[in-house]
Amino acid sequence: MRRAVAVGTGVGHYPVPLVTRVFSGIQPSGALHLGNLLGAVRNWVVDQHEADSFFCVVDLHALTTPQDPAALRAATVGLAQLLMACGLDPEVCTLFVQSQVAAHTELAWLMECTVSFGELRRMTQFKDKSDRSDFVSAALFTYPALMAADILLYDTDRVPVGDDQRQHLELTRDVAIRFNSRYGDTFVVPEAVIPKAGARVMDLQSPTNKMSKSLDSPQGTIGVLDDLEQIDKKIKRAVTDTDGEVRFDPSNKPGVSNLLSILAACTGRTPEQTAEGYSQYGPLKSDTAAAVVEVLTPIQQRYRELAGDPAETARLLALGADKAAAVAGPVLQRARAAIGLLPRA
Ligand code: AMP
Ligand code: TRP
């Protein structure tokens, strides 16, 4: 149940809807893979029916590393279409593109002024990404302030994200609490919702690494839009081990356990239950491949339909941006007033 917030000085009380609010974001960089689908997007599809849910294609976050403009535009539209193909329904949830709601960048500045240099410096994602890049933008460093703005703008209660975002969520909470204590109760303090360990899909070729968008391991990564025959081959060539026993044991048998997790996630069972049905790797691989193909076939089909009608996508995204702006606007005004910015006459 949603907590009603007493809001900042001079702006009075705002009505707060008594439903849980969910917000999450995903970057339009790299192709959506099976890990994103099973670890994140499938949960969002469920969330949209249970909470007032906002899902955002965070194109401004993608800009923290240099992007080709035409490729960024295509990736932004493509990801929005793919999210719809995966089951996010713009009639049920609010699906929008971050840069189309100006409040995000405006609140991000207030967040930058509330977060400390030391806090940003401790972010491990910045350390990882800056070590790997030649050009490190200032925005890559301040990225968590924009992410905090994304979340806080919607009076968000719950943020479904992967384990890798835990630190950013803690920072968002700290910033919200600091802002509220400095300027009066303004923001809802959100909670991260992180799926259990089983929801982590590993690389098929190096199963101790997470499946990821980076193109280092094309044979180990299953793109949601990959050719279905290629997917079948990749799963059948997945690295296992030599002891020949089918058992869910991620630390000692990472390859086999990953296949069990994937098959379990596709069929709605637990990896342990799934393991009971197999004594050999061959059938486990064939069934996993078949289950993944079955999940992806309708998604690919719907994606092709949506991709054929870019005007309809643009219309739906404009609608999403309007719905998002209607919620974000008053929260931004509340924050502006609380911090002492002059209201527009
Ligand atoms: P990213 O690909 O890092 O932009 O992540 C988008 C969403 O997918 C986040 O919620 C991630 O935590 C989640 N995610 C990314 N990779 C995986 C994976 N291999 N297994 C499960 N979830 C993942
Ligand atoms: N930083 C997240 C990632 O890289 C994406 C993101 C941006 C996000 N803003 C968000 C996730 C707000 C959840 C909520 O995956």
Give the CATH number for residue 300: 1.10.240.10
Whether residue 268 lies inside any domain: the answer is yes
Please state the three-class secondary structure of 76-114 as a single string. HHHHHHHHHHCCCCCCCCEEEEHHHCCHHHHHHHHHHCC
Whether residue 71 lies inside any domain: the answer is yes
Whether residue 295 lies inside any domain: the answer is yes
Spatial distance between the Cα atoms of 312 and 161, rounded to a whole number of angstroms: 28
Q: Which of 72-76, 126-130, 281-285, 332-336 has the lowest mean pLDDT?
A: 126-130
For residues 217 and 49, which has the higher predicted lDDT (pLDDT)? Answer: 49
- Please tell me what DSSP assigns to residue 33: B
Nearest CA to ligand 2 atom 6: 25
Using CA atoms, how far residue 101 sits from 38, 333, 343, in Å, is: 28, 14, 20
DSSP 187-252: S---EEE---GGG-PBPSSSTTSB--SSTT-TTT--BTTS-HHHHHHHHHT----SS------TTT
Nearest CA to ligand 2 atom 8: 25
State the pLDDT at residue 37. Answer: 93
Residues 319 and 281 both lie in one domain: no
Whether residue 33 lies inside any domain: the answer is yes
Residues 253 and 187 both lie in one domain: no
Query: pLDDT of 20-44, one tens digit each?
Result: 999 999 999 888 999 999 989 999 9
Residues 325 and 293 both lie in one domain: no
Instruction: Place 11 in a pLDDT band, splitting at 50, 70 and 90.
Output: very low
The single residue listed with the structure tokens 């990472």 is 254
Nearest CA to ligand 1 atom 14: 36
Q: Which residues have a Cβ under 8 Å from the Cβ of 217 and sit 6 or more positions away?
A: 203, 205, 206, 209
In testing the pocket of ligand 1, which one of 26, 32, 36 has its CB within 8 Å of the most ligand atoms?
36
Ligand 1 atom having least distance to the Cα of 203: 19
User: In whole numbers, what is the pLDDT of the chain averaged over residues?
Assistant: 92
State the pLDDT at residue 197. Answer: 52
Distance 99 CA to ligand 1 centre (A): 21
Query: pLDDT of 235-257, one tens digit each?
Result: 999 999 999 999 999 999 999 99
Structural domain boundaries enclosing 113: 4-198+309-339
Active site residues: 129, 210, 213
Whether residue 222 lies inside any domain: the answer is no
Residues 326 and 235 both lie in one domain: no
Our answer on whether the CB atom of 63 is closer than 6 Å to any ligand 2 atom is no
Ligand 2 atom having least distance to the Cα of 168: 1
The structure tokens listed for 51 are 């909470």
Residues 291 and 316 both lie in one domain: no
Q: Which residues have a Cβ under 8 Å from the Cβ of 243 and sit 6 or more positions away?
A: 253
Instruction: Place 18 in a pLDDT band, splitting at 50, 70 and 90.
Output: low
Instruction: Place 2 in a pLDDT band, splitting at 50, 70 and 90.
Output: very low
Instruction: Place 300 in a pLDDT band, splitting at 50, 70 and 90.
Output: very high
Region 143-158: mean pLDDT is 98
Residues 182 and 81 both lie in one domain: yes
What percent of the chain has a predicted confidence (pLDDT) above 70? 93
- For 56, the 3-state DSSP assignment is strand
Query: pLDDT of 187-234, one tens digit each?
Result: 999 999 987 655 689 999 999 998 987 667 889 999 999 999 999 999
Our answer on whether the CB atom of 23 is closer than 6 Å to any ligand 2 atom is yes
Distance 201 CA to ligand 1 centre (A): 9
Q: Which residues have a Cβ under 8 Å from the Cβ of 232 and sit 6 or more positions away?
A: 289, 293
Q: Which residues have a Cβ under 8 Å from the Cβ of 62 and sit 6 or more positions away?
A: 27, 28, 29, 72, 75, 76
Residues 267 and 148 both lie in one domain: no
Query: pLDDT of 99-116, one tens digit each?
Result: 999 999 999 999 999 999
What percent of the chain has a predicted confidence (pLDDT) above 90? 83
Q: State the Cα torsion 342-331-119-130 to the nearest 10°.
A: -100
Whether residue 152 lies inside any domain: the answer is yes
What is the domain count for the chain? 2
